[in-house]
Amino acid sequence: MRLKGKVALITGGAAGIGKATAKLFVEQGATICICDINDTAGLETAKELGCEFSRVDVSDRKAVQIWVDTVASQFGKIDILINNAGILRDALFVKVKDGDLVKQMTEEAFDSVVSVNLKGVFNCTQAVAPHMIRHGSGSIVNASSVVGLDGNFGQTNYVATKAGVVGMTKVWARELGRLNIRVNAVAPGSIVTEMLESMPENILSEWKKHQPLGRFGQPEEVAYAYLFLASDEASYISGAVLRVDGAMVVGT
């Protein structure tokens, strides 16, 4: 019961890594509240785990503030924030054929990923921080990615957001540390989620060749990293980026 008595918020908690994290946190004694934009999956997860669910678009600052303030009022505190929500809109920065530009990443694809993956982390953290400050402690864990550290083909928007999350994590670790709030990031590699499974089999087969452990990761393996960094066992860890990637080789 490593999180007994803790109140935790998990964004993107309806499925995948978020759901695995919610399940693990409940097993470890936490009171959890998840949010997602997928009502059906969110309600199913909440029913399965016996937790709170709210439909929240993390890019909507007002909706985030209402959710956070409601949870804090209901439970009296917020101990943990897991900024897990994220989306993909992959495309080549520019696509050229016979020397001519034929396609490029759209502005909408860039802006939508930034609004969720980067601004969403900013929104949730800034909404939660005052409650943690008043309580005198807190742990925030942000979802980055190995591609945010190493770059990757066809992911200008996604890589930019995940690199930005690392930067914000380090800033907040410095700014909030004196207030007894720790801020860390997890950088997953290829994890078996709905997002990964939606990719064509030939691409997955080729991608697996770049996994030194010979397999993709499981959501639970990322959830355990979230658990460690969120728990008191990591009480002197802040500003860190923990790779959970099986030594994945990116972009080759």
Grade residue 108 by pLDDT with cuts at 50, 70 and 90: very high
Number of helices (H) and strands (E) in the chain: give both, helices first. Answer: 10, 9
| CA–CA dist 175, 172 (Å, integer) | 5
Transcribe 23-72 into DSSP letters. HHHHHTT-EEEEEES-HHHHHHHHHHHT-EEEE--TT-HHHHHHHHHHHH
Q: Is 111 helix (H, G, I), strand (E, B) or coil?
A: helix
Q: Where are the domains of the chain?
A: 7-242
Question: What does the pLDDT read at residue 163?
Answer: 98
Per DSSP, what are the bridge partners of residue 240?
none
Q: What angle do CA 121, 39, 75 make, to 5 degrees?
A: 60
Grade residue 251 by pLDDT with cuts at 50, 70 and 90: low
Do the beta carbons of residue 153 and residue 180 sit within 8 Å? no
**Is the domain covering 7-242 a CATH 3.40.50.720 domain?**
yes
Do the beta carbons of residue 164 and residue 187 sit within 8 Å? no
Question: What are the residues whose beta carbons fall under 8 Å from the beta carbon of 224, sequence distance 6 or more?
Answer: 24
Question: What are the residues whose beta carbons fall under 8 Å from the beta carbon of 49, sequence distance 6 or more?
Answer: 22, 23, 26, 32
CA distances from 114 to 16, 87, 185 (A): 21, 9, 17
Question: What does the pLDDT read at residue 195?
Answer: 75
Grade residue 207 by pLDDT with cuts at 50, 70 and 90: confident
Among candidate residues 19, 2, 153, the one with its CA nearest the CA of residue 82: 19
Hey, what are 125's tokens?
């953290």
Do the beta carbons of residue 14 and residue 34 sit within 8 Å? yes
Q: Are strands 100-104 and 94-97 parallel, antiparallel or unpaired?
A: antiparallel
pTM above 0.85, yes or no: yes
Query: Annotated active-site positions, please?
Result: 158
Q: What is the pLDDT of residues 162-198, one digit of tens each?
A: 999 999 999 999 999 999 999 999 999 999 998 787 7
Q: Is pLDDT at 203 greater than 80 in this prediction?
A: no
Look up residue 140 and give its amino acid. Answer: I
| CA–CA dist 155, 247 (Å, integer) | 20
> What's the mean pLDDT in 90-109?
95
Q: What is the pLDDT of residues 27-56, one digit of tens each?
A: 999 999 999 999 999 999 999 999 999 999
Question: What does the pLDDT read at residue 21?
Answer: 98
Q: Are strands 181-188 and 138-143 parallel, antiparallel or unpaired?
A: parallel
| CA–CA dist 214, 211 (Å, integer) | 5
Work out the percent of the chain whose per-residue pLDDT is above 70.
99
